[in-house]
Chains A and B, each alone.
Chain A
Amino acid sequence: METDYAIIGGGVVGLSVAWGLLRRGRTVTVLDGDDGSFRASRGNFGLVWVQSKGMNQPRYASWSQQSAAIWADFASEISSNTGKPVPLAQRGGYDLHFSEETLEATLAKYKKLKAQLDGNYPYEVLGHNALRKEEPHIGPKVVGAILHHQDGHANPLKLLMALAADVRRMGAYVLPGRTVTDVTKPDAFHISCEDGTTLTAGKVVLSAGLGATQLGPKMGFKAPIRPQRGQVLITEKLPKLINRPSLIARQVDEGGIQIGATNEEVGLDDRVTQPGLSSLAAEAIAAYPALARAQLVRSWGALRVLSPDGLPIYQQSAEMPGAYLVTCHSGITLAAAHARLLPDWLEGTDAAPDLEVFSENRFAVS
């Protein structure tokens, strides 16, 4: 056996898991795709987000909270290990509302979730005037916001780069440009790639995003994931306009304002469209009118990796014990949990977090 763990997929999910396993002294080989692969790790919004998660499943909310609570420490560790800073701000985030009805409806859901979380759900409602004090550039159409104090945002690309550097520093073998075509388990796991590379491993983690639809069934997983496109805009670098992030817009550490995102079911199409860009621009301007004069410099489409209920999937294969499916659409928020907590589950230690609600059992056989 060449490696304790083979990690299929070197995005933020795979690298976070690899990092945690390396910290525990395991040998790890990461097999990553090529420069043109769909990479949700490169196209996401960068939020470290708690609110609005797990409205129908409190365990998802608490899992996100666990990750958010240790994110700063995790970021600080990888950045001091590598000398590569991982900017993070956790000063709260908004759910912006343009009508009292939607605001009230969301508040009702939050109230219910808060009770299910024994009160650990620190949010407050800001009416327009109170919001204006926090966000001087907020527009008149925004009737109010829910400010959740556990929300924040990071630089997801710097996170990715720091993780890439740290896993190498800790001795991972990283094989880029590899498309895994088959995984079998005659004794140990045998992994084969398109270019002829083969690998044997004690355990395998499938964290290949949309790649799991092909590979997952071969490894005994249902992997009922689908792509969902989010178009995102980014403006020229601007003076400070936005203090706290929301799903509509955030100002990144380098100064541009990131605006997102659409939710389109278009298959494996990560192109941008003028109607998509225009609708995002209109919403951003409704929230922050000063943005009307900002220049759009770049846009992209990224494919979210979505399970039917939008929750992560953490599943050990019944057919091939020792193979694990790890997939989610909130890889940035959950990076700390994947790095610090999930490895205990992979190793089967006493400290393993309870992830039962995230198993594939919840997907009825159709």
Chain B
Amino acid sequence: MKTASPFLELESGRPVDVTWDGTTFSLPDGANLAAALLASGVEVFRHTPVSGAPRAPFCMMGACFDCLIEIDGVVRQACMLEVTEGLVLMRPHEGEAHDDQT
């Protein structure tokens, strides 16, 4: 499924299924994961732990950590990963409950 996005893809790779935040996307195999999600219309990648503000990729070079996603329980930068068939991605730590601390 591809929602409207302000991004245009100049070419398309072999499409494979990837699940992100419960939704299935068809993304080009081997593509940069952050770029592919942006081109598929994903606007908000995560919400900040401090204020819940929406964030999306900012630097695309592994320096800003705004494009974080969760794979297999580990939080990683989407811009440093490639699309592979069958990836299951989630927003960082949004599967678990957040309690108040002290």
Contact = CB atoms under 8 A, between A and B. Distances in A.
Whether A and B touch (Cβ < 8 Å) is answered with yes
Interface string A136-170: 00000000000000000111000000000000000
A88 interface: yes
B75 interface: yes
B65 to A, nearest CB: 9
Contacts of B9: none
Contacts of A239: 93, 96-99
A240 interface: yes
B6 interface: no
A240 B49 contact: no
A87 interface: yes
A237 B102 CA distance: 14
B74 interface: yes
A8 to B, nearest CB: 32
B54 interface: no
A73 to B, nearest CB: 16
B74 A295 contact: yes
Contacts of B99: 239-240
B74 A89 contact: no
Contacts of B97: 239-240
Interface string A239-262: 110000000000111110000000
Nearest to B94: A239
A251 B49 contact: no
A236 interface: yes
Contacts of A295: 74-75
A282 interface: no
B74 A293 contact: yes
Nearest to A85: B102
Interface string A275-300: 00000000000000000010100000
B75 A253 contact: no
B102 A155 contact: yes
A239 B75 CA distance: 13
**A-B pairs with lowest CB-CB distance, top 10:** A239-B96, A89-B102, A240-B99, A237-B49, A253-B101, A87-B102, A293-B73, A253-B102, A293-B74, A239-B93
Given A87-B101, A89-B102, A254-B50, 6 more contacts: A155-B102, A239-B98, A239-B99, A253-B102, A255-B49, A293-B74
